[in-house]
Amino acid sequence: MLAEAYRALTSAKDGPSIYDLCDPLLRGAGGGDAHLRKFYQTAVANPALRPLLSRAGLPALRDPAKFQGLRAAIVAARDEAAPDWAAIGAPLAELLDRLPPTHPKRGGAAPAGEPVSVAGMDRIARACASHLLRSYRKNDGFIPAYAAFNLIGDPDFRGRDLLIALQGLDARTYKNSTLLFNLARVFIANGPAADVLNPPWRGLAERIWSPVQIRHRSAYYDAFYAEALMDFLHSGLASPQETDISRQAIERMVRFCLNESREAVPGPPGGSPFDVVTAIAPSPHARFSRFFANIKSDLGFGLYVPDCDTTAC
């Protein structure tokens, strides 16, 4: 990791950086959309990330037409009251489609062994349910979820997906974060900073780095946990004690989804308000640490978080 960091901090800059592009438009005080400025300064131009990305130049932006086209898109996102998000996303979508693939390079699959027996599957089911119930007891009546930031993004998220996202959910803060995070992706993926921010990994799933784990409670995951425990009860594997605790946990989690996580949102123009289940419930139910609650606030978000789980909810 030290060698990768040294390369990122000392490599020759090959084209304009994200700061050459955005600092004159979004850094410091100024007019336009305040959230876009705040998000840029907190998430992209912060002191931890700036040294890594200052030398991450993008060769494509040596073309003055491409540089000015992307700059004009950012200005439109900043200044227009009702931006044309398809037009804003178009020059960035073109750059996203040039990203090198970043899928993990897994080793060969092990030779197929004997299929798992029914008794073996029962042991696995019991172990998973026991883990959930231990977590429920340990955390005083809830099961925490864990998340992490990943600045390199999903390798399957390309230009077409960006345009769909920018024209989808009607929340400007969501569109701002989607625009800037994907802009950062382009610069990260085209230089040595990628090896620092997204080191290669093997296995079935990428590990969540301990320093960036966000521990919280989410209706999205409570619904998964409740369903898993319902399946455990239906399997007939639960002991009488596990049955009692599982029913109590399921009741609490369903109630959390329908009560604490209920939020009234305005309907379309001329329509009536309606209730939704929001992924992150208001304090104190979200169980965020103070550190991450402050970061979320610094990024310009209240209850809302710009992730897939929230959008799905």
Q: Which residues pair with 265 in a beta bridge?
A: 274
Q: What mean pLDDT, rounded, does the chain reach?
A: 85
26, amino acid identity: L
Q: What is the pLDDT of residue 246?
A: 97
Give percent of the chain with pLDDT exceeding 70. 84
Task: Write the CA distances from 191 to 41, 72, 149, 163, integer angstroms.
Answer: 21, 24, 19, 24
Helix/strand/coil for 143: coil
Name residues whose C-beta falls within 8 Å of residue 33's C-beta, 6 or more positions apart in sequence: 77, 78, 79, 172, 176
> Cα separation of 260 and 10, whole Å?
50
- What is 173-211 written as a DSSP string? HHHHHHHHHHHHHHHHHTSTHHHHHS----SSSPPPPGG
Give CA–CA dist 151/106, Å, rounded.
21
Structure confidence at residue 102 (pLDDT): 65
Residue carrying structure tokens 């883990």? 131
> pLDDT higher for 37 or 169?
37
Q: What is the mean pLDDT of residues 165-183?
A: 87
* CA distance readout (Å), 87 to 65, 66, 70, 160, 189: 15, 14, 10, 13, 23
Whole-angstrom CA distances from 6 to 41, 119, 184, 191 are 24, 52, 20, 13
Instruction: Compute CA distances 141 → 84, 126, 136, 255, 285, whole Å.
Output: 46, 20, 5, 12, 12
pLDDT band of residue 313 (cuts 50, 70, 90) is very low
Each residue of 261-270: pLDDT tens digit? Answer: 888 877 777 7
pLDDT of res. 290: 72
Share of residues in the chain with pLDDT > 90 (%): 47
Separation between Cα atoms, residue 148 and residue 303, nearest integer Å: 17
Q: Residue 107's pLDDT band (boundaries 50, 70, 90)?
A: low
148 vs 79, higher pLDDT? 79
pLDDT at 209 over 60: yes
Phi, psi (rounded to 5 degrees) for 90: -55, -50
**How many CB atoms lie under 10 A from the CB of residue 270?**
5
Tell me: the pLDDT tens digits for 66-92?
999 999 999 999 999 999 999 999 999
Domain boundaries, the chain: 2-102+152-197, 118-148+205-312
Tokens standing for 312?
A: 């799905």
| pLDDT tier, 106 (very low <50, low <70, confident <90, very high otherwise) | low
Is 226 or 10 the better-scoring residue by pLDDT? 226
State pTM to two decimals.
Answer: 0.75
- Kindly tell me if the per-residue pLDDT of 311 is higher than 80: no
